[in-house]
Chain A
Amino acid sequence: MNAVIAAVGLATPLGFGREAFVDAWRAGASAPRVAGGDEAGGVRLSQALKLRGWFPEQRASLRRMDRLSKIIAASAALCREDAGGLDAAAALAVGTDLGTLEGTWAFLSRLRDKGPALANPNEFPNLVPNAGAGYVGIFCGLQGPSHTFCQHETCGDDAIAWAAEGVDEGRFPSAVAGGAEELGAVRCRATAAAGCADGVPGEGGALVLLERSSARGLAQVLASRGAFAPPRSPVRREPAAEALQSLVRRALDAAEVAAADVGAVLLSDGGADLNAAVDAVLGAGVPRTDHAARVGQHPADAGFRVALGALLLADRSLPVHVDGDGCGGSAVLVVSAARGGTLRATVLGACS
């Protein structure tokens, strides 16, 4: 597949922008975890979402935006900065599982308490999952194809796969793709009640710029494959080992990458089962990133993991985890297992 990651836009609990994030990651920093006293405990973004500096002409829209849309817009602005500009014909692909869950519950609460006559017309358009993509299209003038993927914890992977395939086919000259999620009280209460809370709930956005060929490439998207296998539990992410192993093998085959060439693995939260399934294919000992403990987790964090994987391949001195060395292979593997049973494996390769 001919799709090169040329730039990254990172809005993370460890910093905003490539430089700030890489410095913090290299230094072994971990974002502070906020106690759950406000029922939204977890790891929050490192700075406020002040978008006026990036989009000074959009004051009216900025006032109406919800928090998730702001995270997505910040990620797009940071990607634009890292790239030095975006093509108006670029496609946009955003992954988000929960969307504006917090805003939806606020809208419903007002509907219950005040009645339908006082439903807020400024809030409702923000409740569609593609609101963030819509704002980014307007703010950045992106008129290419635009998709928002929502398949639980594989949504960010799906977004990047679709974008990379479109770039590879020449359907659009470039694409901005990744995922974003917000951390809020409703998410924490609901996932806790349902028994599917993330280990360290986090939030953030990560978008990568994909181009067909680029002199400034950080890494290549070599292949991405998806599969479905009913999980043992509808609540926990406990992927079916056999299906996951088969998927990883198919992704590596499609990428023409040998297991021994994989220098780092970036996993979604899938517990011991996910680790064991990947080990069964790659062999034990391939280092895993420790991003979950350091920046928290969210359902759309595959965008972040792909961006981190590209950074690890572009700078081999960047440690894979806090106690480790840099990536020792020419490829990295990004694997996600979602609640409900969807799986995706994406293989990134170093730019030659």
Chain B
Amino acid sequence: MNVVITGHGVVSAIGSGRAAFAAGLQAGACGVAPIQRFDASAYRSQVAAEVHEDLRSGAWRAWAEASGVPLTERRGRAAGFALSALAEALAEAGLHVGDLANPATGLAFGGSTAGMPEAEGGLLDSDGDYWAEADPTVFLSTPVGSTAAVLARALRVGGPVTTISTACSSATNAIGLGLNWLRRGYCDRVVVGGSDAHCRLTHAGFCSLSLVAPERPLPFDARRQGMVIGEGAAFFVLESEETARARGAGVIGQLLGFGNGAEAFHLVQPRADGAGAASAMGTALDDAGLAADAVDYVNAHGTATPANDVSEAAGVHRVFGGRAASLPVSSTKSQVGHILGASGAVELAAVLAAMAGGFLPPTAGWAERDEAIDLDTVPTSRPGDVGVALSNSFAFGGNDSSVCVAHPDWRRS
């Protein structure tokens, strides 16, 4: 079965809505700025890629009206990002929430923070008895599954609904799950994606591990000092090509394959030899039925931590051999930050933007080569036709994932 993408929506710090996001991506914009969500003066890093747009007015309102997604039904910042991205995705797909109210439509969500930005505030800002003062409904949005429940209710989805939370590969794994539900015939249509909001828990945690940079992240650059946390969401409507063509839907991409594996090595450190990364990419290519030479571009996990970038570069060399040094490989995290559980979704949106716009997204800010990283990191955006791409997501727990996606006009030779 050929699975196609018929709609997508995106919320990010460099622009929300797919047009603004694509423009920011191509221009090399960077959404990293001083943190406004909370007082970060006591943290090792005071920057993040936060979203400050009003996602309920202007085009968002029009998309919501076209799709029937109730932007007002909000339970937390992450759910709000998700609903906005979903409104845009459904509007592009030409779908209304009423079209989803059947057992053949599923929702697979990936995320990590859910309602934590709201719930943590009750504890961190409380001088008294948290439990005496706590709003139980806020607590109920803390488990990561709560976001998908809110979305499923808003979308009136009637089929399977689930949440995968595998840290930074969550959304990519949710996309892979949706692909599989379609292939098995459980669903005719699956809405997939991820959403995460910046919060003090994750900021403090990554700072404690000394993984966060004090200024903009510089993936693959010799000067890199770590990641910068971002926030946002992206969602996609997946359908079988047959279903999409039958209803006259436009196709914006083809989801060809998915790979996931465990490194079985270390909870937070990747294998330096890139074996885990290579396995995920190789499995995605096998699942797509493609050889490595079919790939035109890799959207890297590219966190800008010293360990990840060396490991991922080694993985790219394992998969692509002699082509690795000249294959365009860039990190969207240089622009939107690391959106943790939702990063794979936003980065898949970046791949679709590149395919539609005929450009290669940059690793913004890259200037100094790391001798251990022999890649074409695309320092500035440049024209390029992307027929087939991989998008990587690697996570705590040694959880490595990759999706293989193709331009809507790409056909197997």
CB of B238, distance to nearest CB on chain A (Å): 16
Residues in chain A near residue B43, CB distance under 8 A: 116
Q: Determine the distance from Cα of A165 to Cα of B264 in the docked complex, in whole angstroms.
A: 23
From B44, B173, B268, contact of A147 by CB (8 A): B173
- Contact, CB under 8 Å: A150 / B163: yes
- Give the residues from 231 to 268 in chain B that come closer than 8 angstroms, CB to CB, to chain A: 260-268
Q: Shortest beta-carbon distance, A233 to chain B, in Å?
A: 11
Q: Is A190 close to B, CB under 8 A?
A: yes
For A138, give its contact among B107, B148, B264 (CB under 8 Å).
B264
A106: shortest Cβ distance to chain B, in Å? Answer: 11
Q: Which residues of B contact A (CB under 8 A)?
A: 42-44, 103, 106-107, 112, 120, 123-124, 126, 131, 134, 136-137, 139-140, 142-146, 148-150, 152-153, 156-167, 173, 177, 180, 184, 186, 200-201, 203-210, 260-268, 279, 395-399
The answer to whether A142 and B264 have CB atoms under 8 Å apart is yes
Q: Does A129 touch B at the CB level, under 8 Å?
A: yes
B144's contact among A99, A108, A194, by CB below 8 Å, is which? A99
The residues in A between 311 and 340 inclusive whose CB is less than 8 angstroms from any CB of B are 338-340
Contact A143 B261 (CB under 8 A): yes
Interface centre among B162, B210, B261 (most CB of A within 10 A): B162
**A149 to B158, alpha carbons, bound, how many Å?**
19
The reply to whether B162 and A107 form a contact with Cβ atoms under 8 Å apart is no
Closest to B200 in A: A111
> Which residue of the partner chain, among A109, A131, A228, contacts B161 with CB atoms under 8 Å?
A228
Q: Known contacts A148-B166, A194-B140; is A116 also within 8 Å of B42 by CB?
A: yes
- Contact: B268 with A125, CB < 8 Å? yes
A residues near B209, Cβ cutoff 8 Å: 121, 124-125
Chain A residues, CB < 8 A from B142: 101
A135-B201 contact in complex given A130-B165, A195-B136, C-beta closer than 8 Å:
no
Instruction: Judge whether B143 and A145 touch: CB under 8 Å.
Output: no
Instruction: For A154, give its contact among B162, B203, B207 (CB under 8 Å).
Output: B162
- Flag if A130 contacts B161 (CB, 8 Å): no
Q: Tell me if A124 and B166 are in contact (CB < 8 A).
A: no
* Contact, CB under 8 Å: A342 / B164: no
Q: Do A151 and B166 touch across chains, with their CB atoms under 8 A apart?
A: no
Q: Bound state CA distance, A145 and B145, in angstroms?
A: 21
Whether A112 and B123, one on each chain, are in contact in the complex, defined by CB atoms closer than 8 angstroms, is yes
Taking the closest CB of chain B, its distance from the CB of A226, in whole angstroms, is 3
What is the bound-complex CA distance between A133 and B186, given in angstroms?
A: 26
A147 B166 Cβ-Cβ under 8 A: yes
Q: Which of B177, B204, B398 has the most CB of A within 10 A?
A: B204
Tell me, rounded to whole Å, the shortest Cβ–Cβ distance linking B144 to chain A.
5
Q: Tell whether, in the assembled complex, residue A193 and residue B165 are in contact, meaning their CB atoms are under 8 Å apart.
A: no
Q: A144-B262, A228-B158 are in contact. Are A190 and B396 (CB under 8 A)?
A: no
Q: Are A119 and B158 in contact (CB under 8 A)?
A: no
A137 touches B397 (CB 8 A): yes
The chain A residue sitting closest to B184, CB to CB, is A165
Q: How far is the CB of B268 from chain A (nearest CB, A)?
A: 5
Known: A134-B397, A228-B161. A142 touches B103 (CB 8 A): no
Taken residue by residue from 229 to 260, chain A's Cβ proximity to chain B (1 for < 8 Å, 0 otherwise) reads as 11000110000000100110010000000000
Per-position 1/0 for A96-117, Cβ under 8 A of B: 0111010011011101100111
Contact B162 A158 (CB under 8 A): yes
Decide: A108 near B267, CB < 8 A? Known: A131-B396, A340-B149: no
A243: which B residues are within 8 A, CB to CB? 158
| Contact across chains for B397 and A146 when beta carbons are under 8 A apart | yes
**A247 surroundings in chain B (CB, below 8 A):** 103
